[in-house]
Structure 1
């Protein structure tokens, strides 16, 4: 009954295994996070619509195709997946500490005498005889088991922290995913806007070249001074000077789209060369109430999971203040012949108790540090919530502002176009001077570019609103690391 004390110790310890030191995590309420019941700006607070694939609401197949290609090939998304896989393996490693560890070992040795080695033996009758020493074999096999009893829940708190960290990594992946989707759509809109501005500049340049020719004819006819000709020449040169800048801007947006889709910068130039209008989406978006952002925004959910992980870490450090208990055992077999290896087995069972008596306050300092880390995680969580609400309100206001500017610039363009037609007709008939024509055409170009910019701002504000609302992923699931391959599907 040599093992009775160890067995009695184990029997007494097992009921304690259900307790876990440290605070239990409790999700914060919307009121604790400072979430208001309504937005402070005009917003469509009907029940939130499905924003999982918001880019399809722009009714632009090329835009949708680029976003989906970015989902599959973007390298930032691929890196987020690798971080998610790492977090999953950290969880696996934490869970492994809940189970015993088993190890086995085996050995074989052979003794071979040197040449000429012998043993001399004297027989009872006095005869001396020499025997040659022969070779000998030795076989051994062992099995060891160790188990750290998690009496105070330190290991379980570690698993809890790792699980929350894995979930946070999943939401971080979703945050990268929706950011890449929005960035792809935004650069596509800006590329189409640059195309429109280039078209405006080139059309205006053609008119100004015609004006210059007319001014030259009138100077040659002695109808006007060379002032008209120089004004026309200067205006044409200024318009021509804007075109290289617009071309460079367009090239930058297209190059960015290539990289966002995991390709070389120039990979999409031929595909996007054909001029298409700026995509426009719906007039309004159902934003829901502010509390909906807590469920829809992946960055908020990641911050919440980081808080849960930090809270569990308090229990991990507090468990170090209490004794640690370990049990284990081993079974060994050894023989000079393999056939008789298991004829004799020896075993042992042990238990171990360890308690830190003095560490100059290091462990308690670690507990206080973990508590401070949890407090910091809560503040980060609350800050993320408030910043998210700020993003939503700013995007909603930006969208409404752009829509009003689109309406105003449409009216300005109509008036400027009529004014430019009249001024051009009167100048050709000699009824007005070139300065009047120049001002009218400048106003027309300004109205054209203003309308283009307002339309671009309207689309980018809508994209920003979709992003700020957390659109672009399935918020009803927690993204999981793929078992194979290098991508994860968050939709």
Structure 2
């Protein structure tokens, strides 16, 4: 044992070994706070008139991941999946993941040594009478900053968290994209149905106007009835181009989400179809599930992690930095003698730098990072509360819209009967034309409102799926396209 101690303490190699061993032990130290997931109080159950039991229909998370299939509309499912495949915002988010991963690689490169090679050739003269000389030099330089206090490791930790945040941001774009594509599709089908309603009622009103004209020519009614009938026809006709314009603009919006030029999907979506409907059996779970499910919440948590790690990066600047530098090279006056042993030079040794006279700047930077961490924690809390509110809003909207639709269904049935009776009485001369106009306008309004309510039920359900964080699956590699 004494012999080993003598070797380690009385030889150059031994002293170097001890020095490196001490650095290795110190390198296990990491300054700054360690990240711990934020603790946020959330309700144990959903509140409000839209609250339902925490049901978990067959499929659970998978049902949320591909919720659009619940509508049993193949074209809707195809549009959503094509949007996920080709949407530009999603591809931008994917590029940001690559950027974050590359930045992580830059941060991690500081954990290892750096090696560079150099070469130089100079030819010159020191005075007018002196000979012209040449000088050749070639060599390698290496340096390694020993991460004694963990500043580099904290930087890598922050970069890892930023990669995770980028992954979650991409998922959040996908959640929004799926919901927006489905919402626009429902809106398009609703507009097409409202167009059909307007045109159908227009035909009915044109028939009534023709009947009124004939009765006027027969002297049974006044010209006022004819004018009123023509005004109603013109009013209903004026709605048609507005609905056509809205339908065309909605089509363009869908095409934009799919990275398609305007009009490229016109033929595919031209034929009217029913407004898609899905049963309201949604895997709600409990509010705490949002913390694990919603990508924006997961991204906000990763943001806290990155901010916490950056505090450690700033704290590490308070302490000295140790580096080991080495160089090996050759220099000679001629190229032929450059590689001779006599031309070789080398150096090796440690170096220490310390921002001892910049502590004010370093301490201020630490406070900056702490403030950023606090902002991240508050933003996380805000994101959680917003998520809970969005679910509650979607739940109550869904329940109340169903009540609204039921009342409108009854109104449409009553208005159809009123139109039929008013037409019969008017043909018999037992009522004036204002009752016919009122009944026809009531039917148009109630049918149009019913179509909008039917669409609203579907869009409220889409909003609920989005609020729950539906639209992505854990099995899909976060770094790749589906």
Asked if 1:343 is matched to 2:352, the reply is no
**8 Å CA contact 2:136, 2:338 repeated in 1:** no
Asked if 1:22 is matched to 2:32, the reply is yes
Q: Tell me, in whole angstroms, the C-alpha distance in 2 between the residues paired with 1:353 and 1:25.
A: 29
Give the 3 Å change call, closer, same or farther, for CA 140–7 of structure 1 in structure 2.
farther
The equivalent position to 2:146 in structure 1, one of 142, 145, 149, is 149
Q: Tell me, in whole angstroms, the C-alpha distance in 1 between the residues paired with 2:164 and 2:42.
A: 23
Give the 3 Å change call, closer, same or farther, for CA 118–40 of structure 1 in structure 2.
closer
TM-score scaled by length of structure 2? 0.91
Q: Tell me, in whole angstroms, the C-alpha distance in 2 between the residues paired with 1:208 and 1:337.
A: 102
Instruction: Report the more deviating stretch, 15-24 or 259-268.
Output: 259-268
Counterparts in 2 of 1:55-454, with a 5 A limit?
A: 55-107=68-120, 140-334=137-331, 336=334, 338=336, 341=339, 343-344=341-342, 345-359=344-358, 361-454=360-453
Q: Tell me, in whole angstroms, the C-alpha distance in 1 between the residues paired with 2:216 and 2:265.
A: 48
The runs of 5 or more residues in structure 1 that have no matched partner are 120-132, 481-487
Give the 3 Å change call, closer, same or farther, for CA 342–288 of structure 1 in structure 2.
farther
Give the deviation of 1:244 after TM superposition.
1.4
Give the deviation of 1:228 after TM superposition.
1.1
Give the 3 Å change call, closer, same or farther, for CA 240–14 of structure 1 in structure 2.
same
Say what the alpha-carbon RMSD is for the aligned residues: 2.2
Asked if 1:9 is matched to 2:6, the reply is no
Three-state SS of the structure 2 residue aligned to 1:290 is: coil
**8 Å CA contact 1:167, 1:479 repeated in 2:** no
Asked if 1:34 is matched to 2:31, the reply is no
> Whose helix proportion is higher, 1 or 2?
2
**8 Å CA contact 1:67, 1:181 repeated in 2:** yes
Three-state SS of the structure 1 residue aligned to 2:250 is: helix
Give the deviation of 1:79 after TM superposition.
1.1
Give the deviation of 1:473 after TM superposition.
0.6
Give the deviation of 1:238 after TM superposition.
0.9
Give the deviation of 1:360 after TM superposition.
6.3
Give the 3 Å change call, closer, same or farther, for CA 341–139 of structure 1 in structure 2.
farther
Q: Tell me, in whole angstroms, the C-alpha distance in 2 between the residues paired with 1:300 and 1:18.
A: 32
Q: Tell me, in whole angstroms, the C-alpha distance in 2 between the residues paired with 1:396 and 1:338.
A: 85
The equivalent position to 1:46 in structure 2, one of 38, 51, 55, is 55
TM-score scaled by length of structure 1? 0.89
Give the deviation of 1:222 after TM superposition.
0.9
Q: Tell me, in whole angstroms, the C-alpha distance in 1 between the residues paired with 2:27 and 2:357.
A: 25
Q: Tell me, in whole angstroms, the C-alpha distance in 1 between the residues paired with 2:473 and 2:255.
A: 26
Three-state SS of the structure 2 residue aligned to 1:361 is: helix
Give the deviation of 1:6 after TM superposition.
5.3
Q: Tell me, in whole angstroms, the C-alpha distance in 2 between the residues paired with 1:53 and 1:195.
A: 26
Give the 3 Å change call, closer, same or farther, for CA 187–477 of structure 1 in structure 2.
closer
Deviation by residue 1:253-292 (Cα, 9 ceiling, x = unmatched):
0010111100112222222111111111123312001111
Instruction: Report the more deviating stretch, 80-89 or 359-368.
Output: 359-368
Give the deviation of 1:339 after TM superposition.
7.9
Give the 3 Å change call, closer, same or farther, for CA 381–292 of structure 1 in structure 2.
same
Deviation by residue 1:17-46 (Cα, 9 ceiling, x = unmatched):
0011100001123xxx12111111312412
Three-state SS of the structure 2 residue aligned to 1:457 is: helix
How many residues are matched?
462
**8 Å CA contact 1:171, 1:478 repeated in 2:** no
Q: Tell me, in whole angstroms, the C-alpha distance in 2 between the residues paired with 1:305 and 1:378.
A: 10
The runs of 5 or more residues in structure 2 that have no matched partner are 1-10
Give the deviation of 1:423 after TM superposition.
1.3
Q: Tell me, in whole angstroms, the C-alpha distance in 2 between the residues paired with 1:342 and 1:398.
A: 86
Give the deviation of 1:52 after TM superposition.
1.1
Q: Tell me, in whole angstroms, the C-alpha distance in 2 between the residues paired with 1:224 and 1:434.
A: 9
**8 Å CA contact 2:318, 2:359 repeated in 1:** no
1:483 corresponds to: none
